Structure 1
Amino acid sequence: MDETPTAQFDAYENDFKHLISSISDKLEGSGKNLLGEQRKAALRKVEIELDEADDIVSQIELELQGIPQSVKAPYVNRLKQAKADLTKYKKLSKELHSQAARSDLLGPFKPGRADSDDPYGERSDRARLLAGAETLNDGSRRIGDSTRIALETENHGADILSTLRGQREQIENSRNMLQSADGSIDRASGTLKGMIRQMYKQRFILSGIGVFFVVLVLFVLYFKLVRH
């Protein structure tokens, strides 16, 4: 298998030409006579093939970089032609998509209706335009409803945020109160400890005084009873 840059270029170019031929047939050949869903399906297939053709053109550009400068000129022209074909069918595909969209909006045109006795029949251009205007009005109403719902949701969200802020403030106030209570409890605990120490100190002093008086009484009794 020939793996030279020019051989790869030719292979990618052949693939591109095959895709372009298929696209051309769907847009300008037999596919042009398709109607309704068949036409839509053909246009969707064209979009896929155009993406594939775009990728192939990118590959062709890469292969062009490896072709020797002495023989590069004709390959540059062939790449330009491929890009021109791709641009042409992309534009044509976009136009046909737009036509299909307008056809869906205004409804199918039936030959001969414009020559009927009633120029404003239900299938006349005026009726189709009115139907299109009504569709646009419905879309506007839906957009208005969506906007109203979004605003209501935003207001509801704002109320929720306001409630959450209030609850956060209450929690912060409660936390501050708890911290103050902890401080008060610590101070009260210190006071109680001081009172307990003072109580033990007073008890020790009273005990010492009691012992002193007992010793004093015993000493007095000793002198009165024994020394006489």
Structure 2
Amino acid sequence: MSGSEIFETYQKEYLTLQESISDKVKNLIPQAKPDQRKLLFNQATRELEEADEIISQMEVELQSLPPNIRNPLTPRLKSYKNDVKTLKKDLQKTNSAASDREQLLGAGGSHVIDFEVTSMDQRSRLLQGTERLQDGSRRLEEARRIAIETENVGISTLETLNRQREQILRTRDTLSSADTWITKSQGILKTMQRRLVTNKFMTAGIIAILVVIIAVIIYLKWG
């Protein structure tokens, strides 16, 4: 799951909480009986705390996004913060107004608790908690997958480097052997060159001797 998708998931959770809080502030709390109003007020307070926590998580995710995605979302997050501040003020005002009205009218507590509202609120909180756990599990699984891929790439790179090292060593050995043979060949060529020069001198000497012998023979024969 990408960072923008995680941000959208948090945004959906926040909007659900915002709708629930607004309904309590505008509709349920003003019409509730004293005990029910207290229960709804506590529920709305907890939901506002959850909204603050989700906004903090959205801020963290926002910082990890690239600028081209982060910049358009920043004003939206700022608007959510302002909405939460407004809801907190409205909740206090609504609760205080309802309490003052009850005192003026002399309304007493009914001691009747709306268990259906409590059950729905708890179920909603449980579902939201489950979704966050699932989201966290998906993120951990994604991180684990990336870590495994990175490890595999590292192993493959090490194997490639090892093969290249072996090739370099073999090439070095081949070059060393070739250098040895070149040195030997140079020695042989120098020896052959010296012998060739020696043979030339010997041949020239033999020819000179033969010329001298022939000249002596001719001299003795016709002299």
Superposition TM-score, scaled by structure 1 size:
0.48
Higher relative contact order, structure no. (Cα contacts within 8 Å, ≥ 6 residues apart): 2
- As a proportion of its length, which structure holds more helix? 2
Superposition TM-score, scaled by structure 2 size:
0.49
